[in-house]
Each structure stands twice: as structure tokens, then as C-alpha cells.
Structure 1
Amino acid sequence: MLINSFYFINSLFFNFCIAFYLISALQWYSYKLKRVFFHYHKPLWHLYFLVFPYLMFLVFPLYSLIYFIILAPILYFWNKNIDKKLIFTNKVRWFFIFIFTYNTIFAILALRISFLFNLLSLPLALISLKIYDLFSNLYYKKQAKVKLQTNEKLKIILITASFGKTSIKNFLYELLKDEFKVYKTPRSVNTLMGIISDINNNLNNDTQIYITEAGARVKGDIDEITRFLEPQICIIGEIGNAHLEYFKSIDSIRQTKLEALNSKKLEKAFLHTSTLKQENEVIAFYDDKISNINSDLDGLKFEVFLEQKNHKFESQILGEFNAQNLCACILCAHYLGIKLDSIKNNISKIKSVEHRLQIISKEPKFIIDDGFNGNFKGMSASYKLCKLYQGRKILVTPGIIEVNKEENIKLARIINECFELAIITASINAEIFEKELSIEKIILKEKSELVNTLAKETKNGDLILFSNDAPSFM
């Protein structure tokens, strides 16, 4: 009996330790096992928290409890120090229930047959989680579809792009909210199940316009969202190298974004010319309608060709690239019947989207938060904007994530032209910046060192740009 209890506790510690680590990694990477094992940014963590525990359990099945008792608090402090901690959703809770159930079954079998059975607890829990996902997703999907179909007056606007989706969504909401009852997906919710959850929990039955964004990691992701939502209007923004690691080519990215045109109810589409489509009665380009862009640290001025003439717009939004994002929203709002005077007035009042060239303070230090801008075009434009500042300029960045090496090399050249000091906050691009940056640079070993580094290295009158952000697991 004593040996039985000891073995159960030992195997439970083993399975819960590796389960806690693996479900954390899966949550970071949208529960995609392939991404966790083939696109993981901290492979040594797999060695510490997966490989070593398995080896210990295999070599010392009855005597490894001490190791796992030590590993448990290590995992606790590891989770405490990372910036994307495990969120105990229903899915995660069910995963641990599966782990406990299989551990109990195999602990009994181990005494009768072999301890190796307990190594099956984790893979079987993952399979059970997949089955749980399948049935729960079907239920929630059907529930959301019924809710959409019940509101016959609802008009859905779908937004996708390599970058700028969330900004376009927020800008468009500000242009429409005074004339319609509008709802937009929160934060950066852009997956099918995220959208379904949002519809079920947050979309009111009297909503007139639902604005949602669609993201993708593989071909078919946007098609799946499009066929579910059947939007009447879609905006496809600029096509670029974002997530090139997954799509392998710009053409593959382009074809995936164009899946947004597959809606059976499509009435109008506003596209960036990088989509390489042809204009027709349904499709209209937006970026070739804009001209005379003037961008500085006070905001934007630009003109949009509409109703057979150029109209002037002014905005307090920073960044030349945002003129294009605003232009797409202007054309969409105009299509929906909003008067030009109202559009111009609202454009002048729109504030920066949180973490997207958002001015945090101008004194004593000029601080700009551009943490959610993670593409070459947007980041390089913000750097050139900062170059206009008359004073010392400091950049805080991990570089660009999920792109080829050349993108960060090009970025480093622009950093050299625009800043006096660069603080690199992630290891993923550290080797590139160590080699390519000719200005003063500080490469942090841990992201947690940033606060003390800024306090030590910056002074009043400095401009500090927080450009892109990478979680600590990168």
C-alpha cells in the first residue's frame, strides 16, 4: 500500500510538472503542437522541462520524486517571472483533469504491468483535449451562427492585412459609432474561435455593424472565418512579410489574405494595391486615392481623392503609414453613407490606438509606445519620424519577429541612422543586432532588466521609442 501511494504521488508530480510547462507553451502558440515543437523560440526550455523530467522518470521511476519536488517550485518561479503567464481557462482545467485521470489509471497499471504506462498520460491527455475541443467548438460555432442569422439587419465588416488590422478596425469604429450601433472585436481577437467566443459573449442582438479582424498562420484560416461570418464588406490591407516563417512566400500570404473575398454576401471590398487584384464594381483600391502626406511628431496631414476631387484631412495620429489606414476607413465610412464633413471632424479627433505610436508623455522624457507595431514598413517609418526630434533618441526593441534575417539587417541600418542608443530586449535577434548596429547598444539577457536599464541610461529630454514587443519566451 505504501509503495502504491508513493508511486502514485511520484507519477503525479512528474505528469503535472511536464503538463504545466507544455500547456503554457501551447497557450502561447495558439494550441498548435507543430508550432511548439518546430517554431519554438526557447528550445532549451524543452530540454529543462520536458526532456530531463522524462529521463529522470525513465531511469529512476520509483526514486525521482525528490527531483520533481525540486522541479515544481522551479516551474512556479519560472511562470512568475515570464510576462505571459498561464491562464486557467476551461480548456486548461480540463487538460489537468485528463492528466489526473490518466495518471491514476496508469499508476494502478504500473504496479501490475510496467511503470512505462505512465508515460502515456500526457499524450492521451492531449488527444482527449483535442476531442474536447472538437465537440465544444462545434457547439459554440453553431450557437454563434444562429445569433448572427437572427439579426437580419446586421452588417459585418471583415478586416485583414499583413499589418495594421487592429488600427484600421479601431479607426473605422470611431468613424461609424456616432451614426450606427457598432461593435468591434476586442484587442487583437482575430482567430475563428476567438471571434465565435466574442459573438456568443459580447455581441448584442440590436448591433447594426460588427467590425472584426481576421488573422492567419496557415492557408485556409481566413477562408474559414470568411465562410462563417459571410461579411458584406471587407478591407484587405497591405501585404508584406509578416509571418513569412509560416507562409514561406509573399504570394502565399497574398492568396491567404484574399480568401476574405470568398464571402457569398460580399457587397464591397477596399483593397491595398499590393493585393494585385483588379478594380471592378465590387473591388476598390484605397492607397492610390491618397496624396500629399505630411507626417511629423504633431500628427498627419493628407488628401484623399473622393467624389471626383481631393479632400484635405488632418489627424493627431502619428506615422505616415497611418494615412493609408485612415484612408481605407474614410472610403468605407463614405460607402456606408457618412457625410464627408462628419468624417473629417472625426478624423481630426481620433486618438492613437493603444500601443501603436501612442504618445505616453512629452515631458520630462518624450515617450512613445509603439509596442504593437511589428512589421518593417511600420517600424522603419516610426524610426524616421523619431529622427525629427531635436534631442537624444533611444530605441527599445526586440526587432522584427517571424521574418527572415534580411528584414532585421535592413532595420538595423535604419536604426543606425535614427538613434543614439538601442536597447535590444529579446534574444531572438540579438546576434543580428550585435553585428549590424554601429551605434551604442545594450542587449539584455532578460527582459526583466529593462526598467533598471532605462533608469540608468536615460535622462530628461530624451526621446524613448518602445518599438514592437516580444514576450519573454522569445
Structure 2
Amino acid sequence: MIVDMTSLILVYAAWLIFSAKRLLTYTHVLQQEDYDDLRLFKWIGDNFAFDKRLSLFLLVTGSGLFALSKFMPRLFVPELVPHFLVFTGLAVAIYREKDPRKNSKKKLVATTRAKRIFFPALALVALSGLWCFHVPDHPWIWIFNVQLIPLILIIVNLLLQPFEHGIQKRYWNEAHQKVKAYEPTIIGITGSFGKTSVKHILGHILKTQAPTLITPGSVNTPMGITRIVREQLEENHRYLVVEMGAYGPGSIERLCTLTPPDMGIITAIGHAHYERFKTLESVAKAKFELAEAVLEKDGMVIIHERTLRFPIPEKLKDDHPSNFIVCGDAPDIFSKANDDHEISHIASDDLHIISIKQSTKGLGVDLRWKGESYSLFLPLFGVHHGHNAALAFAAAMELGIPADKIKTALRSLPQIEHRLEVRKQPDGTTLIDDAFNSNPIGFNSALGLLATLGRQGRKILITPGMIELGHAHNDAHEKIGSYAGEVCDIAIVIHGKRIPTFIQGFKSTGSGKPLHEFASFQDAQGWLRENKQDGDIILIENDLPDIYERVPKI
């Protein structure tokens, strides 16, 4: 009796430890999917990410016990054997399960919300373990429990939604009241790409002139912005620069209600998050919710010329011409650079980008606006940052900052972390860190920089490719792969099955340059440690979150 009770306690303790570790794994994915149940469910289905190893072990051992009981009934099998088998399976699974708080690129953060979901789910899973002791002792019974773990997490998250919405609403109201009380000049920035970089550049300029609060990093969601405003906005802040992300129709409109913008900057309309919007016209409509909010306050909207290739932006500008500043390549430059025979939407009184020149020290940008010429220097890398600088320059000028002060501020601009950040390494190599994310224009610019900086050494590219391009995925990767084949001496592709057309494009150049494929960024780094040489220029283009690169081995 004592031995039997001890075995039950051991099995249950193992179940609790295993359940906690497995729940952490799924909570990690749920957190990266913005606590969206449907996206977690889809991730599990797409990646076949339900338990296989432990369930297979329990199935095989359970089948063996069943066969013995049916075909060899006289063979003595101790009653403790099922408990021993379950305990063994759980113990091995506990040992193999990785802790996402320690063993992930983007680690699980133990936020208050994550805890509110995790602990009730663990309590329910613990109860399900007790249920197994009230049915016949057989390893098969535990398979159902193991497979139930992610479903319990999803159900708990779903049931907590009304409570979470209540908390979010209270915090949102507090932040909104703070904005109304302090009345800073609010500049909203959105776009399919470039918004974080424009925010970084403009924020730096404004900080040299007056107290300025900038939403940090890539914070661009309602709760992220709410938290920053609640905790950091002060009465002396003259400017509030807010990055606004569009995750569906109406999301930017909601952000504009929280932080009503006096000025808006729209950087681009592109394929980022295309899978959520389905068409570029829908992307344009969502992004220009910012323009509509600014126009309600008779404010100024600063846009890149490329955004006017869609009906809604073009109509808004035509209806409110005095409220728009358009930045883009000068018409003669546009016609030379454009190979799609598109029409330039930039007028004579708009801000013209005359030239962008990349050197080993930074960017030189020549602008012409309202009859005046301006030459800027930024210690940044990547030609596309010239366009970002033009948008920030227009915004700063419109806010009344003199051109000479803007130019002085730009000269002290720090590099943007993980966005074409160039760093000399102690081992003699040069790292171009563009790991934060990637899009066709940014990738193209990064390869151009690699060509510029890599004239004396080997040019090495490490990339998992781009994401969320929708139907443009294959074509975009083939084009960029072809360009990479011309520029790079060595290409290292991570999870190449995602981007077969990139590999095809790279090899289509016929150069015979080596291309290596690895399953993870960690494996690629291992190859690099063994093979890099003094003078190598290494471009890391994108570094996907764990949910894209690797599926937990469960």
C-alpha cells in the first residue's frame, strides 16, 4: 500500500513538472502571437506542434501491456508497471523540454498577463492529472491529458479576455487623460516599413530642441503605447512621437483616439503584414487612417511619394492639398531609377530627394524644397535611410526647427539598433546588423551596403529571408536572391525550405558561389565561427522569432 501510494505521488509530481514546462512552451508561442488564440491554434496546426514523443512512448508501452494482458494473461505483470512506465516517460520529457525563459532568441517574458494565463491553466492541467488516477491504470489514459495541455491554455486565455479588456480599458483611459491634460504636440508615424527608423531620426532631432517622449524600440500597439504614456509622459514634454502599427482595419484609428496626432508621417505602403490585409489597397486604407485623424485637427501629413500610387491616399491629398507634404525622388531621378514605368506623383513644390550617396562613414543626402537646397549628413548606413531622413527633415522643418539645427542634430545621430547597424568586431570582421526585420527595399539596400563596405574582403550574407509578403513571397525572394548572387561571395540561408526561390535566384547567376543551408541561426553562427576570416564583411539580414525559425521538439 505504501509502495503504491509512493508511486502515485511520484507520477503526479512528474506530471506537474512536465505540465508546467510544456505550458511554458505554449505560453511562449502565445505571447509571440500577441495572445491571439486563433494564431496559436494555427501555429500548432501548421507546424504539427502537438506532443509526439511522449504520446508515442505511452502508446507503444500501453499497447505492449494490453497485448500481454490479452494474449498472455497468465504472465504476471506487477501493478506498479503502468506507473513506472508513465513516470519514465514523463521524466524523459521533462529532461528534454527546453525552458523558453532561457533557451530562446526572444525569451518568454513573465509579464502579469502571462502569469494570469499560465497559473489557472496549470491548475486545470493539475486537476486533469488527478482524473487519471480514477480510471484504470493504463499509460493510454495519459495520452489524452498530454494532448489536452495546449487546448486548456487556449480556453483559459479565451475565458480571460473580458477581464483583460477591462484592465486594458482602464489603463487606456488613464493614458488618454494624461495626454489631454499635458497637451504635447503629437506626431504619429506609420507605414509598412521605415516607421521605426523615421521615429528614431525625428525623435533625435526633436530631443535636441525640447523635452520629447518617443515610444521606444518597435512599440506600436495599443497596450504598448498605453504603458509608455502612463508611465513616462510628463507635463514638460513638448513633443510625443508615436509609432503606430496596423494589425487590421481600424487599429490605427484606435491609436489616434488614444494619442490624437497633430502631425502624421506615412512612410510606405508595402507587403509587410500583407497576409492580414490581403490587398495593398487595404493596407493603404489602414495606414491612411492616420492621415484622416490628422486632417480632423487640420494638421500636416507628410508622406512618401510611393504611397500615392493607391486611390485612397491620392484622393485625400487631392481633397486637402495644403495639408500634405510629399517627399520623393526628383522627377528626373525617379524616371531613371524606376523600371516599372510608373508615374511620379511628386510636384514642383514638394520635397525633392536629389541624391543619396553612401560612403564608409555614412550617408550624404541632397534635398530641394521650396526653392532651397539642403545637404544633410547622417552617420547611418543604407540608402533607404536617405528617404527616412527626408521625411524626418520635412517634419522637423514644419515644426519650426531651423534647417541648420536639424543638420547639426543629424550629424550626431546614433545608429539604429539592428537596422543596418555597422560594427567593427574584435576578430577583424565587420558586422552589418540588419536583424530586426526585412522587406524587399531594405534587403536590397542592405546588399548595396554590403557591396560598398566589402570591397576589400569576403562578403557573407546570413538570412532566413522575409516574412508576411503574401503572394509576392516567391517573386520577391527570387529577385533579391539574384541580386545577392551578384553581390555576395558566400550566402548562408536559414530554413531554406521557406525560401526556395531565393536559392534559385542566387544560383541563377551561374557564379558557382557557395550557398550553405542551416536549420537555425545558431547552427549558422557555428559555421561562421569556424570559417570567418579577418576582413570579412558579414550581413545579418533578418532574424526571425522562434515561431518562424524553429518548432519545439515535443
Same fold (TM over 0.5): yes
Choose from 451, 459, 475 the match for 1:387.
451
What SS does the aligned partner of 1:464 have?
strand
1:260-316: CA deviation from partner (whole Å, max 9, x where unpaired): 123243511101122223431212212242112222333222222234222222222
Counterpart check, 1:68 vs 2:134 = no
What SS does the aligned partner of 2:377 have?
strand
1:362, CA displacement in angstroms? Answer: 7.5
1:132, CA displacement in angstroms? Answer: 3.1
Alignment-derived partner of residue 529 in structure 2: 455
1:53, CA displacement in angstroms? Answer: 10
Alignment-derived partner of residue 338 in structure 2: none
What SS does the aligned partner of 1:45 have?
coil
CA contact under 8 A between 2:299 and 2:323: conserved in structure 1? yes
1:198-224: CA deviation from partner (whole Å, max 9, x where unpaired): 111222232111111111232222222
CA separation of 1:303 and 1:146: change in aligned 2, threshold 3 A: same
Over the aligned positions, Cα root-mean-square deviation in angstroms equals 3.2
Choose from 299, 302, 309 the match for 1:267.
299
CA separation of 1:462 and 1:17: change in aligned 2, threshold 3 A: closer
Which amino acid in the other structure matches residue 344 of structure 1? Answer: K
1:348-404: CA deviation from partner (whole Å, max 9, x where unpaired): 332321112222018822322122240111111221232233232111111112222
Of residues 438-447 and 415-424 in structure 1, the stretch that sits farther from structure 2 once superposed is: 438-447
- The separation in 2 between residues aligned to 1:65 and 1:131, in whole angstroms, is 38
Counterpart check, 1:29 vs 2:70 = no
Counterpart check, 1:436 vs 2:491 = no
CA contact under 8 A between 1:233 and 1:268: conserved in structure 2? yes
With normalisation by structure 1, the TM-score equals 0.89
Which amino acid in the other structure matches residue 36 of structure 1? Answer: L
- The separation in 1 between residues aligned to 2:404 and 2:126, in whole angstroms, is 68
1:9, CA displacement in angstroms? Answer: 4.6
- The separation in 1 between residues aligned to 2:199 and 2:358, in whole angstroms, is 21
Choose from 176, 194, 200 the match for 1:145.
176
CA separation of 1:7 and 1:224: change in aligned 2, threshold 3 A: farther
Alignment-derived partner of residue 294 in structure 1: 357
1:106, CA displacement in angstroms? Answer: 5.3
- The separation in 1 between residues aligned to 2:269 and 2:420, in whole angstroms, is 21
- The separation in 1 between residues aligned to 2:131 and 2:523, in whole angstroms, is 48
1:158-195: CA deviation from partner (whole Å, max 9, x where unpaired): 11111111110010011111211101011111111111
What SS does the aligned partner of 1:452 have?
helix
* Higher radius of gyration, 1 or 2: 2
Alignment-derived partner of residue 93 in structure 1: 115
**1:278-317 aligned within 5 A:** 278=314, 279=317, 280-287=321-328, 288=346, 289=351, 290-317=353-380
CA contact under 8 A between 2:477 and 2:505: conserved in structure 1? no
CA contact under 8 A between 2:25 and 2:99: conserved in structure 1? no
Choose from 246, 261, 277 the match for 1:247.
277
Which amino acid in the other structure matches residue 393 of structure 2? Answer: I
Alignment-derived partner of residue 83 in structure 1: 105
1:89, CA displacement in angstroms? Answer: 0.9
| Structure 2 alignment gaps of length 5 or more | 66-81, 329-345, 508-512, 550-554
**1:323-338 aligned within 5 A:** 323-338=386-401
1:10, CA displacement in angstroms? Answer: 6.6
Alignment-derived partner of residue 359 in structure 1: 422
Alignment-derived partner of residue 212 in structure 2: 182
Alignment-derived partner of residue 486 in structure 2: 417
How many pairs align?
473
CA contact under 8 A between 1:41 and 1:428: conserved in structure 2? no
CA separation of 1:131 and 1:125: change in aligned 2, threshold 3 A: same
Which amino acid in the other structure matches residue 324 of structure 2? Answer: I
CA contact under 8 A between 1:159 and 1:212: conserved in structure 2? yes
What SS does the aligned partner of 2:467 have?
coil
- The separation in 1 between residues aligned to 2:45 and 2:250, in whole angstroms, is 25
1:37-77: CA deviation from partner (whole Å, max 9, x where unpaired): 33579714335489879989x99997744433322232235
Alignment-derived partner of residue 79 in structure 2: none
What SS does the aligned partner of 2:368 have?
strand
